[in-house]
Amino acid sequence: MSENLSEEKYWSIKAGEVQKALLSRVPENEIRPRLQPTARLAELLGDPQKAYRVIHITGTNGKTSTSRFIERLLREHGLRTGRFTSPHLVKMNERIAIDGEAVSDETLSNIWNEIEPIVNLVDSELENSGEQKLTFFEVLSVLAFAIFADAPIDVLVLEVGMGGEWDSTNIADGDVAVFTPISLDHMERLGKTIEEIAKTKSGIIKPGAIVLTAKQTDSAMSVIAAKSKQIAEKLLVYGADFEVTASESTKLGQVVSIKSAAGSYLDLSLPIHGDFQSENAALAVAAVEAFIGGASQRIMDDVVRASFSDFSSPGRLQIVGREPLIILDAAHNPHGANSLVRSLATSFEQGFKIGVVSILSDKEALEILRILEPAFNSVLITQSESARAIPAAELGELARSVFGNDRVSIQANPEWALAEAKELLPKDLGAAIVVTGSVTLVGQVLKLKQIEAEQDA
């Protein structure tokens, strides 16, 4: 270590080198429908994904929030937990969490140094057989598995990257398979219909697993039910086996009551907004009941209350400012946009709302804008730092076709767009700025707010 660098800075630089090495590979939005390379890399490392039990989570929206709920409940039981989610908002380490905290730069760097020679070996094997070398997500998944095995952890809450059947995370066998709502997204890779997408996602169901699912369309439900009947131990469905029985919005979030297969949990304070979040919470409670006691053992009230009381879901209806009210929501597909619009109507005071919006080129931009239109008095179109972001001028023209000329402004720089939104926002009760449309935009703004907070400290 250089004498001129602090230990923290040194490891930060090393972690940056790891990220650079991973990002030089095929990006995660170009995931290859294959499992063998990931399985080969894991096998050479001693199959670290088999060193702990696994709860596996797939779906279209709500995966990360549900994963965070599940992990928090497990941790309150005294278990040492791992959590693997994607994408990250600010820093790649967020994706790999141990006991609720992002993995340290030092651990990330040290485990990478241990596995890198084996990664290079598998790359060579693939290229010699005429295949493409390991992708970003394939390597990241196994790196995470190795970090969790080294910790070591008791249980891993594992979010699928894309799909399920051929997703790199599927080399792990989940004791519990969890399905959040399935809708149309990533259709170029997962399928053109809900049935096709559900079939790909149902690939995470392993023999003897307990399966839990959120509310689904009939077409998705039939696929999940058929696969569960074939090989799973049991299937628990939202609305039949567990559900939110009451929910009341408050200024700080909501108070919810949940019925599950093993019992009821009443008047739980949940410090986050959105009816979809209370449904994610119910799904998480049911999943932990399934994991701990086969869905027949109720969780202690103190465990649930403590877990819910400090729960957070960064980038999902996250309030990062009060004067003015600034809300971040990473709605990046039609299902997410619909959830955002409903939540703005039910969880926040009515008033003038400005949307600061950027959308990626592989998303249904026009449909997302049409869904958002009733919720916003005006929109500021911007452009996130992602190479896939639709140019602000181009997205602005699409927005004008939906909102009309008078309700659309364009400011390509997100920081300036946020500043302009503050100038335009009236001082009315309920007035708010809502940053949405892509995970990368929300991540950028969250990073800006963190820098502001550090400067004010």
Q: What is the pLDDT of residue 3?
A: 59
Q: Where are the alpha helices (DSSP H) in 77-135?
A: 105-128
Which of the four pLDDT bands, split at 50, 70 and 90, describes residue 31?
A: confident
pLDDT, tens digit (0-9, with 9 covering 90-100), for 103-130: 999 999 999 999 999 999 999 999 999 9
Residue 389 predicted with pLDDT over 70: yes
Q: Give tens-digit pLDDT for 296-355.
A: 999 999 999 999 999 988 889 999 988 899 999 999 899 899 999 999 998 888 899 999
Say yes or no to pLDDT of 391 above 60.
Answer: yes
Query: In the prediction, which pLDDT does 347 show?
Result: 86
Segment 41-91, tens digit of pLDDT: 999 999 999 999 999 999 988 999 999 999 999 999 999 999 999 999 999
Per DSSP, the three-state class of 270 is strand
Q: Is 403 left (phi over 0), alpha (psi -120 to 50) or beta?
A: alpha
State percent of the chain over pLDDT 90.
82
Q: Tens digits of per-residue pLDDT, 155-183? A: 999 999 988 999 999 999 999 999 999 98
Residue 51 exposed, middle or buried by CB count within 10 Å (0-12, 13-18, 19+): middle
Hey, how many other C-beta atoms are within 10 angstroms of the C-beta on 30?
Answer: 12
Residue 430 — very low, low, confident or very high, per pLDDT cuts 50/70/90? confident
Let me know: does 157 contact 83? Beta carbons within 8 Å: yes
Nearest to 158 by CA among 224, 70, 262: 70
DSSP 302-356: HHHHHHHHT---TTSSEEEEETTEEEEE---SHHHHHHHHHHHHHHS--S-EEEE
**Assigned token pair, 398:** 């699409």
pTM: 0.92
- What sign does the dihedral 392-398-402-406 (CA atoms) show? positive
Cβ atoms within 10 Å, residue 413: 12
pLDDT tens-digit readout, 227-280: 999 999 999 999 999 999 999 988 889 999 999 999 999 999 999 998 889 999
Looking only at the bridges linking them, the beta strands covering 253-259 and 432-436 are: unpaired
The answer to whether the beta carbons of residues 159 and 86 sit under 8 Å apart is: yes
The set of residues, in sequence order, having a beta carbon less than 8 Å from that of 239 and lying 6+ positions away, is: 215
